[in-house]
Structure 1
Amino acid sequence: MISYWDPLPTARRLVEGLGRPAGEVFAGRWEQRNWRNVPGPFYAGETDSLAIGRLDAPEHICYDDDLGDGFGFEFIYRQPVNVRQTEAVVNGCRLELYSGYNWDGDDRWTAGTVREWWRDRGRVREWALAIAADWGADTHPHWGYNAGSRFLGHYHDAARGHRDFAAYLDDGLEAYLRGYLFWLDQRREPRAGEALPRL
């Protein structure tokens, strides 16, 4: 298993093929980033409330409920670790109407802030399971207009993402973050057998 793979060269090639400047696709502000974003190069700041990123990147994008009534913002819950996943993330990010995603996380995260995020993962997991239970239900009388049955498929899919996020917190994310800590320190991918930093 590769402990860290840099997705940005692939992402840059993909964005070049879109015919849009990267600054139009990735303009999210670090100061507005969602606290649920897992550390890594991609993150979401404030996004629109259409919640469509999972159409292209269901293994990487989730939605929060911060606006109430079943609406919220998008965030990255799993960073891409290969070309296929990077394509999915870039496609999910480019659909965002306000260009609220960014890919400059490598210049923002530090070993200290990654470890701080990991120490607080219990709060993230508790939130993910609670919203999965709510959005996975068949009735939502507290949502008003958005409680209609025509939206159930959307919210059930989002709940699957939340459950996947909780499972990733339990198994998989620690190994990724240790590789990411190595990347932040060395700015290269770890070689086979090299010791990785502890979280």
Structure 2
Amino acid sequence: MHIVDQACDLTTSALGAGRWRRMLYPLIFHLPGLQRSGKVREWWAVATHWMNVPGPFYTGQTDNCWTGRVHAPHNVLYGGPYYNEFVYRQPRSPAEVDCLLEAANDDPYAGYACDGDARWTPAAVRAWWGNRGKVEEHLAELLAEYAKEGADAQDIDAAAGVRDFLAYLATDLANDLRIYLFRLENGRYPNTDDLLPIL
């Protein structure tokens, strides 16, 4: 079983349900007016941070106190007009899942969620990838800001995260998204002999 499957299975287990509901409860359940009005998809389109990399884990409206990288430096970064947290890399190990849980636990707005499989579609994943130039442009702006002379420790750390995200965009992300597309289209992660879909 893939690590993300194992992590998301915690939401239905007796041991994990309380912890996940408390820390990674989807944001829509904190906005009952939208849920009752049937505007869940509209909410997803508007409130989800546009820089989240497609996958099960994502953020909506988080705080901007820059606590996410304290716990999950390989998964969380800050950006957008309010410097909110977003998931720039899906967890690759049980340790990274735990780190992401800690980042979620530290967010007072409960802005983290793990129901991305129910929200991302293959077309939306491909559209995100097709618009990656906008992501790269914003990352270049962030890097110039975070790496300026006299930067404090948080800015230096954020600049390292931006460089990591840029490197990920240029190397492994395309293949990771093809694997995720396979999961969305087939309900499972691919075996070594499965052909991956075109991104």
TM-score (norm 2): 0.83
Structure 2 equivalent of residue 64 of structure 1? 79
Q: 2:85 matched to 1:74?
A: yes
Describe how 1:159-174 pairs up with structure 2 within 5 A.
Answer: 159-174=159-174
Q: 2:96 matched to 1:85?
A: yes
**CA distance change for structure 1 residues 104 and 41 in 2, over 3 Å: closer, same or farther?**
same
Structure 1 equivalent of residue 4 of structure 2? 7
Q: 2:56 matched to 1:45?
A: no
Find the residue that maps to 2:165 and give its secondary structure.
helix
Higher RCO (CA-CA < 8 Å; seq separation 6+): 1
**CA distance change for structure 1 residues 137 and 46 in 2, over 3 Å: closer, same or farther?**
same
Kept in 1, the 8 Å contact 2:179–2:190? The answer is yes
Cα deviation, residue 10, structure 1: 2.6
Aligned-residue sequence identity (percent) comes to: 35
Q: 1 CA distance for matches of 2:104 and 2:9?
A: 13
Structure 1 equivalent of residue 177 of structure 2? 177
Describe how 1:87-126 pairs up with structure 2 within 5 A.
Answer: 87-126=98-137
Structure 2 equivalent of residue 22 of structure 1? 20
Residue deviations 1:56-83 (CA, integer Å, cap 9, x gap) = 110100001513xxxx200000001221
Q: Which moves more between the two structures, 44-53 or 11-20?
A: 11-20
> Which residue identity is paired with 2:183?
W
Cα deviation, residue 12, structure 1: 4.9
Residue deviations 1:101-150 (CA, integer Å, cap 9, x gap) = 110000000000000000000110111122112111124xxxxxxxxx7x
Find the residue that maps to 1:191 and give its secondary structure.
coil
Find the residue that maps to 2:156 and give its secondary structure.
helix
Residue deviations 1:30-57 (CA, integer Å, cap 9, x gap) = 3411100000000000001111010111
> Which residue identity is paired with 1:184?
L
Gaps of at least 5 residues in structure 2 are 29-43
> Which residue identity is paired with 1:196?
L
Gaps of at least 5 residues in structure 1 are 140-148
Find the residue that maps to 1:7 and give its secondary structure.
helix
Cα deviation, residue 85, structure 1: 1.7
Kept in 2, the 8 Å contact 1:5–1:82? The answer is no
Kept in 2, the 8 Å contact 1:5–1:81? The answer is no
**When the two structures are aligned, how many residues end up with a matched partner?**
181
Higher relative helix content: 2
Q: 1 CA distance for matches of 2:77 and 2:124?
A: 21
TM-score (norm 1): 0.83
Cα deviation, residue 17, structure 1: 5.8
Find the residue that maps to 1:37 and give its secondary structure.
coil
